[in-house]
Amino acid sequence: MAAISATLSLLKPGDQLVVSELIYGCSYRLFSDFCEHQNISLQFADLTSMEALKTVITPKTNMVFFETPTNPFVKTIDIQQVSTQLHSVNPAGLVVVDNTWATPLFQKPLLFGADIAVYSGSKFFGGHSDIIIGAVTTSKEELSKKLTGYRFYHGALPDPFNAWLMRRSLQTLGIRMERHQKSTEKVANYLQNHPRITQIYLPPIDGQQLLGYGGLLFIRLDCQTYETVQTFMNALELFDLGTSMASVASAVANPYHGSHLSMTPEEKAKISLDEFVVRLSIGLENPDDLIADLEKALDTIF
């Protein structure tokens, strides 16, 4: 969150910020609260739609912030199109991409016109759920200077142990992402045909913007009550229950009551997030064991 806060420090009262409506719940709340206090005009919008893009991004827009693949539902937002649109109507406007889920190995926002890419290093970068750290990257020197100044004056600095753990983790990022990707594909293929799953959400890998994808997927369970969802999640033995994710250990979570808890029921309804959507984070265990565990848990809700 410190990385996201650092980019917000680039805005001033009176500015206009456009944010994707499909975004991590705490980011949603941070933007809402920050903009209200700082007198910044904030608009949430469906940035997956070209039509929406054109109406919402105007010469007065100072910053556009989004995650792609989106959270939830891992939809694609076209970084090039957002950047072209913003920079053509406001050359000084900033496009900021939260690239935490794709990682720079699978998606490089700055090559598609984004000004800044931010990362929660607590996820795939760290990969072991034992670090709180983040990163802001930019190819613009002026921005880099401002962000470095913010980091110094606001104390958004990792302590030496976290920095050491991060160095250790980055040595295996490539090999971990390869394995996350292979296992996610295998698990997704299994879930695709399951009668109790009405929908599985995976991002399209176009080979241009998104070169690969691993780890996080969403499923919609075919059930009537949240108790059934809980029965399924509690029956899993190899998936940790909780908000931790993008780690060596697989995890299961309910975004409605977890990552997006800070949004109101109305805000969640607007993005079609209900209680039957479950997020799976596929870790580095043997994928066949994960499939067996999912099968057993799905059997409990038949």
The only residue of 98, 185, 275, 293 in contact with ligand PLP, by rule CB under 6 A: 98
DSSP code of residue 112: G
Beta carbon of residue 132, minimum distance to ligand PLP (angstroms, whole number): 6
Given a contact cutoff of 8 angstroms between Cβ atoms, the answer to whether 38 and 11 are in contact is yes
Report the nearest approach of ligand PLP to the CB of residue 211 (Å): 18
Which residues 133-172 are close enough to bind ligand PLP by CB under 6 A? 134
- The conformation of residue 276, written as its DSSP 8-state character, comes to T
What is d(CA 126, CA 236) in angstroms, rounded to the nearest whole number?
24
Contacts of 61 (CB under 8 A, 6+ apart): 16, 17, 18, 86, 89, 90, 93
Total residues at interface with ligand PLP (CB under 6 A): 11
Collapsing DSSP to helix, strand or coil, 167 comes out as: helix
Q: C-beta of 69: minimal distance to ligand PLP in Å? A: 10
Q: Radius of gyration of the chain from Cα atoms?
A: 19
When CB distances to ligand PLP are compared, the closest residue is: 120
99 binds ligand PLP (CB under 6 A): no
Report the residue from 71, 83, 90, 181 that binds ligand PLP according to the rule CB under 6 A.
71
For residue 116, give both structure tokens: 């800044």
Taking CB under 6 A as the rule, does residue 103 contact ligand PLP? Answer: no
3-state secondary structure of 97: strand
Q: How far is the CB of 121 from ligand PLP (least distance, A)?
A: 7
**Which among 97-105, 106-114, 138-146, 263-271 is the span making contact with ligand PLP, rule CB under 6 A?**
97-105
Residues 6+ apart with CB under 8 A from 159: none
Assess 120 for contact with ligand PLP (CB under 6 A).
Answer: yes
Residues 48, 61, 100, 138: which binds ligand PLP (CB under 6 A)? 100
Window contacting ligand PLP (CB under 6 A); options: 79-87, 98-106, 175-183, 277-285: 98-106
Nearer to ligand PLP, 13 or 242 (CB): 242
For residue 240, give the nearest of 282, 204, 209 by alpha carbon.
282
The reply on whether position 201 binds ligand PLP by CB under 6 A is no
> Roughly what angle, to the nearest 10 degrees, separates helices 226-235 and 287-299?
140
Contact residues toward ligand PLP (CB under 6 A) are 1, 24, 67, 71, 98, 100-101, 120, 122, 132, 134
